[in-house]
A and B are shown apart, each in its own frame.
Chain A
Amino acid sequence: MDIKNLTIEEASKKMEAGELTSVQLVSACIENAKKDNGDINAFLEIFDDALAQAEVADKMRKEGKATTLTGIPFAIKDNILIHGHIASAASKILANYVASYDAHVIEKLKTAGAVFIGRTNMDEFAMGSSTENSAYGVTKNPLDTSRVAGGSSGGSAAAVAAGFALGALGTDTGGSIRQPAAFCGTVGLKPTYGDVSRYGAMPMGNSLDQIGPIAKTVADAKIIYETIVGHDPRDNTSVPDQFKNKQDRPVKTIGVPWHLIEVDGIEAETLTRFKETIEKLKKEGYSIVDISLPLTKYSLAVYYILMPAEVSTNLDRFDGIRYGHRTKDAETLYDVYAKSRGEGFGKETRRRIILGTYVLSHGYYDAYYRKAVAVRHEIEKEFKDAFTKCDVIAMPTNPAPAFKIGSKGSDPLAMYLADVFTVPADIAGVPAITIPNGTNKEGLPLDIQFMSTWFDEQALFEIGEVVEKLV
């Protein structure tokens, strides 16, 4: 079975027609994973109950209770809790942590009859853009194994691209769904902040985190999104439906912030392809307008203040007392904290904790944190204003295609700059989708990203399906 080219829509139709069972589908994915995962390292664990789940799904279908996702194999990022399974966030500190409950999104997928094949590799606690910060080794890009799959949801994107699963869940704080999805030639959606409940997802930057789908097509991403979306009182940032201003109009105008795109860091082929696709959209009858977002260029600087500040407070919970790794080498209570954390956290995590502690410290708080919050509000206003002039905003997802493993070296700033086009949507809280945009000369996937106004994911699916056909 050619899983690499099978969509959720097609698989679901085949199962409904009786041409395919979930057991067959899940077996084929596991077979692929057993063959290639040793090299790709997308899965940290393949669940031994996957086939049992598939049998339940097949029974559900026989009984006429199936949804589109019944029996569909999923790969789940390792920071999303599945009851009874390890959830380590690719960190040594949680190496043996077993989830004591299901995340909201997992409950939703279980109700729909989805099958969980395994948990996927990621940058530790979702901090990174390449999965090179995983405590369990890098995830290789299935399309070119000398390159990264991206991050932090690199394992989820690679699992879909490699034919280990038909759909995946990732989390996005600064681009962690869209960047790896794009690097692996797939579709990735970061929903509006507050749209999908984070109950049961390990927090990194609470004011930014969102859970979203990675899939092969826009239609598949939409099916997953519509299954996991919805209000949940257990996440107090979850927005009740009556406050979601749904737009009900076709996409006509596409805003392009050229001043953010035509910058030094963007690779020539990425820019050329982006321009070509915009030109094609123009020929399709879309009106293209140049929009100005003057403060949005500061998004990355704002992000690298707010995110580490939130990281440093969030990761307080890992203290070697209640769960996770505890050092064997402690005399005092202070030692238990400091040594457990020093041993359990990886280098990038330690770096962000130190940075966050600094920007929140007395004397620097105003200069960094308060300033960043103030600029963030201005960026939100800019987006609000921009969406009075256009229905969606288009940008590349990444300034360049997937980079070589190890090429960003030991300079953390070089890695941070990889997020320059994805971070603005997280800062403003708006939804954003990445769509494959052909390949470059070396055959690596290029990408295009669309953002829409708060809770208008529908516009992203609409324009995304148009681009899918055009490219």
Chain B
Amino acid sequence: MQLADIKKLATLARVDISDGEVIELSKDMDSILGYIKELDEVNLPLGEQLTGDLYNVVRDDDHPRISAQYTEVLLKAAPETESGFVKVKKVL
């Protein structure tokens, strides 16, 4: 894999990676993808079915918990907060 491709993937995945690691990863990817390539030997139609004989199980769209029940504990887990909000960098 090209170094530029690894850098592109790292940007898409939002992971900072050093230049040295980009070189290592390009070798790793070649080796892993080379192994995975053995699937080419299998001749199968690519069906539409992506999930198996399963169906979606979702909860009823009602109120599963008391409003604001977990606000405090979740805010406590955030690295930076201000007056009851999670603090982030300027978005726009």
Residues of A bordering B, CB below 8 Å: 97-98, 100, 233, 236-237, 295, 298, 300-302, 304-305, 312, 319-326, 330-339, 341-343, 345, 347, 350-351, 353-355, 357-358, 361, 366, 368, 370-378, 380, 411-413, 416
Contacts and interface: CB of A to CB of B under 8 A. Distances in A.
B90 A378 contact: no
B45 to A, nearest CB: 7
A59 to B, nearest CB: 29
Given A323-B77, A377-B47, A380-B52, A354 B32 contact: no
Contacts of A342: 15-17
Contacts of B38: 298, 301
B80 A100 contact: no
SS class, residues of chain A in contact with chain B: helix
A351 B25 contact: yes
A236 B54 CA distance: 11
A371 B52 contact: no
A320 B1 CA distance: 29
B3 interface: no
5 contacts: A321-B78, A323-B78, A326-B79, A371-B42, A380-B52
B79 A325 contact: yes
Contacts of B35: 300-301, 304, 413, 416
Contacts of A333: 88-91
A100 B88 contact: no
B76 to A, nearest CB: 8
B73 interface: yes
Contacts of A373: 49-50
A335 B90 CA distance: 12
**Which 4 A-B pairs have CB atoms at the shortest separation, nearest pair first?**
A342-B16, A326-B79, A323-B77, A337-B14
Contact of B25 (A298, A312, A326, A354): A354
Nearest to B87: A321
Contact of B15 (A233, A322, A330, A350): A350
Contacts of B25: 350-351, 354
B29 A354 contact: yes
